[in-house]
Structure 1
Amino acid sequence: MTDTPTESPVSNAPDWTVSELSGALKRTVEDAFGHVRVRGEISGYRGPHSSGHAYFSLKDQNARIDAVVWKGVFGRLRIKPEEGLEVVAIGRITTFPGKSSYQIVIEQLEFAGAGAIMAMLEERKRRLTAEGLFAPERKRRPPFLPRVIGVVTSPTGAVIRDILHRLNDRFPRHVLVWPVRVQGDTSGAEVAAAIRGFNSIPAGGLALPSGDLIPRPDVLIVARGGGSLEDLLGFSEESVVRAAADSAIPLISAVGHETDVTLIDFAADVRAPTPTAAAEMAVPVRGELMAEVQSLRARLGGALARGTERRRADLRGLGRLLPSADALLALPRQRLDMAGQRLPRALKANAGSHRLALTRIEGRFGPQRLAALVERRRERFDLFAGRLASALRANAGAHRERISRARERVEGLRTRLKPALLRGQQERVRRLRALEQLMQALSYKGVLARGFALVRDANGVPVHAAAGIAAGAALEIEFRDGRVGVVASEGAVPPPSGPAQPARPAVRKPARGRGALPDADSQPTLFGG
């Protein structure tokens, strides 16, 4: 019995390509689910891709699903994805054939209850605190009495009316309102832009084309009424917190009621429980200030009056301790009377003393004494005159001798100078003649005088060879006594061949001494070296 091959069964099922199967699965999944709401925790989010799309996952305890947000949808999302945030994603389920996987294309994100919002805010607060945006040393005290107050709030709500009403009651100030939305998807971006816009106003104010001037605020108030946790999310956005922390103008946060807490409260310089309280913190009470000023003025006037009266009483007391004018002048007057009584006697005694001294001196200035004094002075003068004449004669002799020696030295130098000048002149004449002979020997005029001629071309350049002369070329020949112009009749002609000239024996010439002229054979000539 022989074995026969078993035939494979034939199937009626059609063959699918991979692309056809992937497309069929994609259509089946999209038709079966359409739009869905998926609750889960965002995982693997690293920010938007370079293309603008965002890729991450949604997970729970037991499963994970890929998620994608296209670039055009990402900019419209009210809630931006954050790592670890629990959300409800609204979108459609589809497949990705390139990886044989399915994913959700998100069109909208919602918070998964208040707990998710609080967890997100706590995580954001922790991260911004680590960056130092909530540090106490960054906060500044608002000015006591600002000239201009900037308010960032909705222009149509009750908050701005409450702030203006309280400012008018306490201390009217110039108020600038930057209108923003205080609720919704764009509220955070508008509040951040308003804070940065107020800070961008120059210190001197911003001039408008109309000629008006927008002053720079001295303090900012960011205000909003109460609301739910989701309503106040715009004031907890990271852009708002960073704008508040970077504000160079002191900022007062007045968002919600006293129990409402947003992240801008931690970045602001001062947190007010309500918008009305923020207006109270911004300005003092004008009436209280005026009353305090009046009280201080009254206290100052009373203090000045009491001080003046006290000094006046002290002056009167000190005046009573001073003696009278008569008491002060009594002793000097008595001394003056006693001196007046002693003055006549003292004058007589002084005159007698001087008379006695004059009498003693009178004997020393008699005629005989003066004549002797004059005679002694005359003898000393004659002695000095004789010594002066001797000194003058001796000095004149010495000068005369020095003059004679100098004259002899000058005569000797003059005698030596004439031969020296003559020898120098002769040496210069000899050298000049030698140079003249050398110049005549080196000049080509001497060569022309011996019967040679100098040929030049039309440009006046000397011609050294016949090979460079073409037929019909204009030439100029210079002889000893003049120049002649000629025209070449033909080209160069080789010289005739003849018996070789015997070589001239070399003649050894005596060496020339210094200053001797070079001989004719060693001199360079016009036609060679």
Structure 2
Amino acid sequence: MSPEYESAYDPSGRLLAEDAPGDNAPPLSVSELSARLKRTVEDRFGHVKLRGEISGFKRAASGHVYLALKDESAVIDGVMWKGGAGRLAFSPADGIEVIATGKLTTYPGRSKYQIVIERMELAGEGALMQLLEKLKQKLAAEGLFAAERKQPLPFLPKVIGVVTSPTGAVIRDILHRLADRCPTHVLVWPVLVQGEGAAAQIANAVRGFDAMPANGPVPRPDLVIVARGGGSIEDLWSFNEEIVVRAVANCSIPIISAVGHETDTTLCDFAADVRAPTPTAAAEIAVPVRADLIALLTEQGLRAQRAVRRNAAQARERLDTQVRLLPAPDVLLAMQRQRADDLGERLGRGLRHRVTDARAELAGKAGALRPALLRQRIVREGHRLDGLRLRPELLTRRLTDATTALDRMWRLAASLNPDLPLQRGFARVMAQGRLVRSRTDAAQAGQVILTFADGPIDATVGGVEPARATDILPPAPATRPARAKPRETGVTQQDLFSS
């Protein structure tokens, strides 16, 4: 056996695990060890309270919260399930010191231990103020507290919405103060003002008032008051929640924040349009005093009456002054009166002259209208009328002349008809829509149309030696025969163009 082979079976360096004599500790699996550790840790640390600073805060989509708690020299992971995370009274953030209550457990998948947090609170007022200041800086950086976002309050709101607890003294103080100053229609949106779920209810109330339609069955408020009585910073913490601050800042209705007493300040006060020191003061800011309004209106009415009377008196004085400077009516109307009298006299004389002239003219015309003269004129005009009457024989003569002239014109038109020579054996030669007038034109055309009396026919020019003119025409007579004298028949031919 070689030395290498012998060393493989040496008891101090065994290759296979064997139970040693007297060993009663069987080997454990990793899962068994993790389970024993988990039971040991949970039994020993089933209820612990840890104070530390939040680090690596993360909220998963499932609603669970994962974070780490640390101090100067150590860190421990923590988890808070969805149910406990929903009951938190504040919004955790990195750097906030808290006290977490829960139990320790292990996570075998990563060989680490962690705390399952059941409840988490801020570690003292200093941590709470630190969280408040951090949230304040964040919201201020977004401009939610800017002065240009503030809306002016209505002078006399018709409807006021109040977000507060319906059972506390705050709503009674507001209603009593409004009734004393100026009775106004009030809508109360009941909410929790502290504790679990208070911030969500307050934010929903503010958004609910803002979402109400202007002409709905319930009148939309012209002003909203968010109110709560005094208390510690923990009691007022719901009005420091980010969800409430954003709802107040984004509301289109003017809002008065009246949370706590005069010395109490919340982030809701910075986001609101106006901060009131107390709920009672908010009611005083919301509406004016009705008695003061009546007194003001009365005073304004008296001042208006005095101003009207003063203006009337001053106008009367100015009118009297102007009247004294005007001349007397007799002086103003003297010239017009004299002219009226003059025109009256001239009118009478003019009428008399006009009547006299008219009578003379009528007498002259009447002399020309004697009956004898009229009878003579009637006889003279009768003779003229007889001379102008139409005689039938004149009309008959003119009609006969016109008929004769029309017949001559028809005979002339018939003699000029281009188709008339075709009846005597002539033909009309056409080529390409034009009349062929010469032998040269016919030779150039090649194809022609010959139109006879009984219709057209196509013809081709060329291909045959043209006959000479002497072969076509009859020989000319040697001497021109004498012109025969016309027979005397006793009837002379009528000229076609003579009338």
Q: TM-score range by the shorter chain?
A: 0.5 to 0.7
Do residues 314 (structure 1) and 318 (structure 2) align? yes
| 8 Å Cα contact 1:44-1:56 kept in structure 2 | yes
For structure 1, list consecutive stretches of 5 or more residues without a partner in the other structure: 207-213, 359-376, 417-529
Describe how 1:37-52 pairs up with structure 2 within 5 A: 37-50=49-62, 52=63
1:109 to 105, 108, 120: 120
The reply to whether residue 224 of structure 1 matches residue 224 of structure 2 is: no
Mapping of 1:13-28 within 5 angstroms?
A: 13-28=25-40
Q: Which consecutive segments of 4 or more residues in structure 1 shift more than 4 A?
A: 2-5, 9-12, 336-358, 389-410
CA contact (8 A) 2:90 2:241 kept: no
2:282 matched residue in structure 1? 278
- Give the alignment of 1:269-418 within 5 angstroms: 269-338=273-342, 401-402=405-406
1:101–1:351 distance in 2 versus 1, CA, 3 Å: closer
SS of the residue aligned with 2:59? Answer: coil
Please state if 1:241 is matched with 2:245.
yes
- Residue 54 of structure 1: aligned partner: 65
Residues 124-183 of structure 1: CA deviation (Å, up to 9, x unaligned)? 233333444334343322221122222222233332232223222211222232232222
Question: Does the 8 Å contact 1:49/1:55 carry over to 2?
Answer: no
1:90 aligns with 2:94: no
CA contact (8 A) 1:93 1:105 kept: yes
2:456: which partner in 1? Answer: none
String of CA shifts for 1:252-290, please: whole Å, max 9, x gaps: 101122332212112222211221211111000112111
Deviation at 1:234, TM superposition (A): 0.3
Could you tell me which residue of structure 2 aligns to residue 264 of structure 1? 268
Report SS of the residue matched to 1:8. helix
Name which of structure 1's ranges 250-259 and 317-326 shifts more when overlaid on structure 2: 317-326
- Against the structure 1 CA distance between its residues 346 and 49, is the aligned structure 2 distance closer, same or farther, given a 3 Å change threshold? closer
Partner of 1:251 in structure 2? Answer: 255
**Alignment of structure 1 residues 178-193 onto 2, 5 Å:** 178-193=189-204
SS of residue in 2 equivalent to 1:141: coil
Which whole-Å CA distance do the structure 2 matches of 1:205 and 1:349 have between them?
89
Residues 79, 109 of structure 1: 8 Å contact kept: no
The SS at the match of 1:330 is helix
How far 1:251 moved relative to its partner? Answer: 1.3
The residue number in structure 2 matching 1:466 is none
* Normalised TM-score (structure 2): 0.66
Corresponding residue for residue 88 of structure 2: 77
Separation (CA, whole Å) in 2 of partners of 1:125 and 1:150: 26
Distance 1:243 1:270 in 2: 15
What secondary structure sits across from 1:199 in the alignment? helix
- What SS does the aligned partner of 1:273 have? coil
- CA change 1:4–1:266 in 2 (3 A) is closer
Q: Deviations over 1:84-111 (max 9, x none)?
A: 3322111111110010001110001101
Q: Is 119-128 or 186-195 further displaced after alignment? A: 119-128
The amino acid across from 2:140 in the alignment is T
Distance in structure 1 (CA, Å) of the matches to 2:312 and 2:266 = 59
Report deviation, 1:406: 6.3
Looking at structure 1, the residues matched to 348 and 82 of structure 2 have their Cα atoms a distance apart, in angstroms, of 128
Equivalents in 2 of 1:385, 1:193: separation in Å?
114
Taking structure 1 as reference, are residues 396 and 21 closer, same or farther at Cα in structure 2, changes over 3 Å only? Answer: farther
Change (3 A) 1:21 1:401: farther
Aligned identity (percent) is: 56
Specify every segment of 5 or more residues in structure 2 that has no aligned partner in the other structure, as ranges. 1-5, 15-22, 363-380, 421-499
> Measured at CA, do residues 31 and 345 of structure 1 come closer, stay the same or move farther in structure 2, by a change above 3 Å?
closer
Please provide the CA RMSD for this pair: 4.2
Q: Distance in 1 between matches of 2:349 and 2:178?
A: 97
Change (3 A) 1:115 1:394: farther
Query: What is the CA–CA distance in structure 2 between the aligned matches of 1:286 and 1:80, rounded to whole Å?
Result: 44
1:338 deviates by 4.5
Aligned CA distance change for structure 1 residues 351 and 252 (closer, same or farther; 3 Å): closer
Tell me the secondary structure at the aligned position of residue 176 of structure 1: strand
- 1:390-412 CA-partner distances (Å, limit 9, x unpaired): 999889856764577569989x9
The 1:90/1:340 distance shift into structure 2, 3 A limit, reads closer
Call closer, same or farther: CA 1:398–1:230 in 2, change over 3 Å: farther
Counterpart code for 2:100: A
Deviations 1:458-510 (A, max 9, x none): xxxxxxxxxxxxxxxxxxxxxxxxxxxxxxxxxxxxxxxxxxxxxxxxxxxxx
The equivalent residue for 2:188 is 177
Relative to structure 1, is the Cα distance of residues 253 and 393 closer, same or farther in structure 2, using a 3 angstrom cutoff? farther
Cα distance per residue 1:215-263 (max 9 Å; x no partner): 4322111111222222211011122122222323221101122332212
Match of 2:12, SS state, is coil
Moved more, 286-295 or 261-270: 261-270
Counterpart in the other structure of 1:153: 164
Distance verdict in 2 for CA 1:60–1:330, change over 3 Å = same
Are the structure 2 counterparts of residues 95 and 334 from structure 1 closer, same or farther at C-alpha, using a change threshold of 3 Å?
same
CA contact (8 A) 2:91 2:241 kept: no
Counterparts of 2:183 and 2:303 in 1: how far apart (Å)?
27
- For these two proteins, the number of residue pairs brought into alignment is 396
Q: Distance in 2 between matches of 1:307 and 1:300?
A: 10
Aligned to 1:36: 48
**Which amino acid letter does the alignment assign opposite residue 264 of structure 1?**
C
TM-score by length of 1: 0.62
Q: Which amino acid aligns with 2:81?
A: W
